[in-house]
């Protein structure tokens, strides 16, 4: 009899909790005690009309309702709460009362993570090396999540560049040894938040529920596991933020609190893609509005960040992700299309809670000055950005790319672009790269010239800033970005049955192996090189296609010699006496060759030396 009674009690409790959990969705889905950000605006979303008219109460020590706000859509209610410093972890019951009946939602109030700034929210710096990948295209570690019932996109076809391929976070976890073997200290992935769209879901940039991790990647459990595994290795996690837009099937479009959560246009209106309107003193107001408020695509409606409820929602979600998943830094998508005042507020909220966290924004611009405007800079302008750094498109398109494709004079553009670093407060916080998921792979840009690819990698890992390598660049993956699917192909060896395996080296060509080993050699050398990680940079005016720059500090001097011409060149160390004086030998980091600084050795065509100077 007692057993039956206990069973009935259990069943009753189970269905009570189940009912409470389903009564309404609350965003953020939980919070933590001891946070500086302790005044939270809960967005409550129900599945029935009239929720906004219900009386809401909370009876929990240290948690107080300070206000409620209705929307035109009566399924929604905003509830402002304050969490006192005395509040303890536990379950906060949010009670909704209407017509004499009550319903509850259990809202967790948790203990904070330990190690703010030391084991998470550490930021990424020039001492780091970022490995960037697309989870769907890297490795399939758990085929059971390839299809998830009920989701709109049920494609799974590796023969199509646009369908899902099945890669997931377990696949990444399985190969962290490989990523770390390259010398990488940090992992950045394309977005891992749910994208329940009908097609083209492999890239992840169309969120449909901010508070769900993509189940086809393994969901919240796998993301937490990946974060933990990275941090156990002393590695870091970068999350990809998308503040500018959501996916078409997000509730912000399908069933919004009101019409002001998204920017609305009579017909589909994209941005004008001219960032100049934000700082041009002669700019049209209408064109400025189109740049900020235009929809990125017809399937990605633009979020109205000037709406205070939307702003609170996005800021709290960003803080929630850092605390929930142990995020160390942010890469921010489509930064220049956002409301810039909102971005400063959002960034500052993260800095306040996590003083060591850093952020780098995607600002694909038309000049170095334009790019610098969106990060911390020296400009005396009305708007001053507080963004830590930029994704350095300018160093790519006006630097290393012309240097290796417009010989012999293109290298002067690399010199010129580096000379404009004075526009930034701290150019070492910019993320330097060769290619990514939106552009042609660098090996293809170089017409598959292996020698030039090796030069590019040597530059990437020795120049100023935070180096980032796109998955497969280290094994000469190629592809042209029109259409973009060709630059998002599968990493060899990530799927059972792959005949080529970059993790083990099976089936790789000699050239692929050489370039992979080059990345490993320089990437790991960089870990212990104070000059490359945090040293100063000095460059010399290029001559006849030869460009020389130094990375140096009080403990180490690295000399980088790049010959972009089609002929061998003689190197006279005394020409660079400002940095070579006092040193007698120059030792190649990549092949152990040694040169006497009194000699005048020749560097081959399309060759680059990375030399450590010794006394």
Given its phi and psi angles, is residue 507 left (phi above 0), alpha (psi -120 to 50 degrees) or beta? Answer: left
Mark whether 199 is an active-site residue: no
Q: How far apart are CA 76 and CA 56, in angstroms?
A: 12
The closest of 391, 401, 255, 258 to 336, measured between CA atoms, is 391
Q: How far apart are CA 256 and CA 279, in angstroms?
A: 33
Contact assessment for residue 156 and residue 147, using Cβ atoms and an 8 Å cutoff: yes
Strands (DSSP E) contained in 52-185 are 55-58, 63-70, 76-83, 90-98, 101-110, 130-133
Question: Which residue in 362, 392, 490, 607 is the catalytic one?
Answer: 362
Q: How far apart are CA 82 and CA 59, in angstroms?
A: 12
Query: Contacts from 224-232 at CB under 8 Å and sequence distance 24+?
Result: 224/324, 224/325, 224/326, 225/169, 225/173, 226/169, 226/172, 226/173, 226/187, 227/120, 227/325, 227/326, 227/327, 228/326, 229/173, 229/176, 230/176, 230/187, 231/119, 231/120, 231/326
Question: Which residue in 136, 196, 328, 333 is the catalytic one?
Answer: 333
The closest of 162, 159, 269, 168 to 215, measured between CA atoms, is 168
- Which two three-digit tokens encode residue 484? 């973009």
Contact assessment for residue 40 and residue 28, using Cβ atoms and an 8 Å cutoff: yes
- Whole-Å CA distances, 146 to 151, 202, 206, 315, 494: 11, 12, 19, 31, 14
Side-chain-side CA neighbours of 271 within 13 Å: the count stands at: 24
Q: How far apart are CA 609 and CA 398, in angstroms?
A: 22
Mark whether 229 is an active-site residue: no
Helix H or strand E encompassing 548: strand 546-552
- The residues that are catalytic are 333, 362
């Amino acid at each position: 009899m007692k057993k039956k009674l206990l069973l009935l009690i259990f069943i009753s409790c189970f269905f009570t909790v189940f009912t409470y959990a389903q009564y309404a969705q609350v965003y953020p889905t939980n919070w933590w005690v001891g946070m500086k950000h302790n005044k939270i605006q809960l967005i409550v979303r129900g599945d029935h009309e009239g929720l906004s008219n219900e009386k809401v109460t909370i009876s929990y020590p240290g948690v107080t309702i300070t206000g409620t706000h209705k929307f035109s859509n009566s399924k929604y209610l905003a509830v402002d709460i304050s969490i006192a410093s005395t509040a303890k972890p536990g379950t906060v019951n949010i009670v909704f009362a209407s017509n004499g009946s009550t319903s509850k939602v259990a809202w967790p109030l948790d203990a904070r993570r330990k190690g703010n700034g030391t084991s998470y929210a550490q930021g990424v710096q020039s001492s780091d090396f970022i490995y960037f990948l697309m989870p769907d295209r890297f490795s399939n570690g758990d085929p059971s999540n390839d299809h998830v019932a009920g989701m709109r996109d049920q494609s799974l076809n590796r023969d199509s560049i646009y369908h899902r391929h099945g890669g997931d976070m377990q696949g990444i976890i399985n190969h962290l040894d490989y990523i770390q073997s390259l010398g990488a200290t940090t992992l950045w992935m394309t977005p891992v938040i749910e994208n329940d769209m009908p097609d083209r879901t492999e890239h992840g940039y169309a969120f449909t529920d901010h508070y769900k991790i993509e189940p086809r990647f393994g969901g919240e459990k796998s993301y937490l596991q990946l974060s933990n595994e990275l941090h156990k290795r002393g590695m870091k996690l970068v999350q990809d933020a998308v503040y500018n837009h959501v996916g078409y099937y997000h509730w912000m479009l399908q069933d919004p609190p009101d019409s002001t959560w998204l920017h609305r246009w009579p017909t589909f209106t994209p941005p004008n893609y001219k960032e100049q309107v934000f700082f041009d003193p002669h700019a049209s107001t209408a064109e400025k509005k189109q740049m900020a408020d235009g929809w990125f695509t017809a399937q990605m409606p633009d979020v109205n960040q000037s709406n205070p409820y939307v702003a609170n929602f996005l800021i709290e979600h960003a803080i929630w992700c850092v605390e929930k998943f142990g995020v160390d830094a942010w890469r921010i998508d489509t930064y220049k299309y956002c409301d810039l005042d909102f971005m400063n507020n959002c960034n500052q909220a993260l800095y306040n809670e996590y003083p060591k966290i850093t952020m780098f924004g995607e600002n694909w611009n038309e000049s170095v000055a334009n790019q610098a405007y969106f990060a911390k800079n020296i400009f005396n302008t009305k708007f001053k950005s507080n963004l830590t750094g930029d994704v350095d498109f300018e160093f790519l398109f006006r630097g290393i790319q012309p240097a290796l494709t417009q010989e012999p004079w293109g290298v002067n553009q690399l010199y010129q672009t580096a000379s404009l670093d004075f526009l930034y407060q701290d150019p070492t916080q910019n993320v330097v790269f060769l290619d990514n998921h939106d552009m042609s792979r660098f090996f293809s840009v170089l017409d598959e010239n292996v020698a030039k690819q090796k030069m590019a990698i040597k530059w990437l890992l020795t120049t100023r800033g935070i180096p980032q390598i796109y998955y497969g660049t280290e094994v000469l993956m190629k592809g042209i970005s029109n259409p973009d699917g060709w630059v998002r192909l599968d990493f060899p060896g990530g799927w059972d049955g792959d005949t080529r395996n970059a993790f083990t080296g099976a089936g790789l060509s000699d050239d692929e192996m050489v370039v992979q080993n080059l990345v490993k050699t320089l990437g790991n050398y960089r870990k212990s090189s104070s000059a490359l990680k945090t040293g100063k940079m000095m460059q010399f005016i290029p001559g006849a296609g030869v460009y020389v720059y130094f990375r140096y500090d009080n403990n180490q001097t690295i000399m980088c010699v790049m010959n972009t011409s089609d002929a061998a060149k003689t190197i006279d160390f005394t020409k660079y006496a400002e940095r070579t004086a006092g040193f007698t030998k120059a030792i190649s980091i990549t092949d152990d060759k040694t040169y006497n600084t009194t000699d005048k050795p020749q560097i081959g065509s399309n060759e680059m030396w990375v030399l450590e100077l010794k006394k």
